[in-house]
Amino acid sequence: MSGASLLMGAVLTFATVDGSAVSLTVSLSDTATAALTWGDHVYTSSVAQRRHLFSPLPMPTAAPLVYDLSVAGASAHRATVKPIPQDGLRVAVYGDSRDGHGPHRQIMQAIREWDPHVLVHTGDVVQRAGVAEEWANYLAASLPVSDHVPLVLALGNHELYQPWNLPKAERVDALAEAMAQVPPPDDAISRRIGAGPATFRVRVGPMLIVSLNSNVSMSAQSQQLRFLRDVSARDPDARFRVAAMHHGPASSGAHGKHRDAADMIAAFKETGVTLSLAGHDHLYERIARDGITYVVSGGGGAPLYQRRHLEPGSEAFASTYNWTKVTVEGDALALESRSLEGAVLDRAVLRPSAPPPPLQVPWIRWAGAGGLLVAGLLAALWRLARGPRTG
């Protein structure tokens, strides 16, 4: 070890899709060993390295859990992790922090004061893949919140961006780098479908959050939307379904909607999505249409965008740095967006929408498509038995 190592970042993420366990990723300024006291358990890393992953760690369920992180040559770091509640769940949302480190730090301070249970980043945490300084700046700005609030990342395009003229020897596996910095839960359904590690879901209290990788196809039969349909069907008791992605299906900003927006919206309706969270356009917008609310929260620090057109259903718009509060209040979601200065940009109350039930005829419900065939045959036989009608 070349000297005392400083704690650059500590990122808490979900390790399991049911939200029962978390991972803590520790980033250091230099190689060093580390030890974690998590409640009554001690986890040690005897290998000196710059990044340590402690996983899985049991999520507290009844009372807050205090942990201590010790790094060789540095002061101990202490944080408190809260249980996920069924009611009163608080989720903080922001995105597109990129290279806007000043606004990013201010937003993280405001989020820390609000004290959420979960943090959702709508993508573009850095400007370029493979640049250690950018990741270091992101981790330092996030540390006041990310060390104790589980983070859900919707993968952005800039996490994957590498300049075209970058020498081959300097290129990195950008996806692997992002997943190492912000590890997702291991989702067996995503693996089976082949949707990739950036596609996963996590159940947090009454809410199912589905993180989709909008950098790839989002067409009707894509792996992303197949995953959304599959996991939604397997979690029917979720009171709220939230889809998080970087490129959203609705926006009045410069980038506008995803090229597969129509298929995305159809899938959201089919699966009962209440709230769509996206970034990519550096602004705040809320769009309400057909029982679904689309929020663009991409004002986390990157250069701001102006309105390019008027998206149907747009009810609030602000070209300013921003973050969004989402709070579970009984059978509704209370939404409030704040500017960098703390001004309220928007407020709304959202009611969950249920997936439309399949078309069924009560007396043949048991037979499905086969019942329809039998019903048709019986009807034909009945008409023959009655004979021709007169008058």
Round to whole Å and give the CA distance between 8 and 6.
Answer: 6
pLDDT of residue 168: 82
Q: Which of 67, 14, 31 is nearest to 208 (CA)?
A: 14
Q: Which two tokens stand for residue 247?
A: 């490129």
Round to whole Å and give the CA distance between 46 and 1.
Answer: 13
Q: Distance of CA 237 to CAs 12, 88, 121, 350, 367, Å?
A: 26, 18, 25, 18, 25
Question: Would you say 120 and 297 are in contact if contact means Cβ atoms under 8 Å apart?
Answer: no
pTM over 0.85: yes
Give residue 197's Cα distance to chain centre.
13
Below-70 pLDDT ranges, the chain: 1-4, 353-391
pLDDT (tens digit per residue) in 99-139: 999 999 999 999 999 999 999 999 999 999 989 999 999 99
SS3 1: coil
Question: Would you say 348 and 341 are in contact if contact means Cβ atoms under 8 Å apart?
Answer: no
Work out whether the CA dihedral 59, 64, 65, 66 comes out positive or negative.
positive
- Name the CA dihedral angle for 51, 54, 55, 61, rounded to a multiple of 10 degrees: -130
pLDDT of residue 4: 66
Opening angle at CA 126, ends 11 and 248, nearest 5: 95
Round to whole Å and give the CA distance between 247 and 278.
Answer: 6
338 CB-contact burial (10 Å; exposed 0-12 / middle 13-18 / buried 19+): buried
DSSP character at residue 365: G
Round to whole Å and give the CA distance between 159 and 292.
Answer: 28
Q: Which of 272, 278, 275, 276 is nearest to 231 (CA)?
A: 272
pLDDT of residue 353: 61
Q: Distance of CA 177 to CAs 131, 183, 218, Å?
A: 10, 10, 23
Q: Which two tokens stand for residue 315?
A: 């009810």
pLDDT of residue 362: 40
Domains of the chain: 1-10+25-82 (no CATH), 84-350 (3.60.21.10), 362-391 (no CATH)
- Say if strands 322-329 and 344-350 run parallel, antiparallel, or are unpaired: unpaired
Question: Would you say 64 and 132 are in contact if contact means Cβ atoms under 8 Å apart?
Answer: no
H helices present in the chain, as ranges: 101-114, 132-146, 174-181, 188-193, 223-234, 261-271, 368-386
pLDDT of residue 360: 43
For residue 257, the one-letter residue type is K
Beta-carbon contacts of 133 under 8 Å, excluding residues fewer than 6 positions away, are: none
Q: Distance of CA 137 to CAs 10, 303, 306, 335, Å?
A: 13, 17, 26, 29
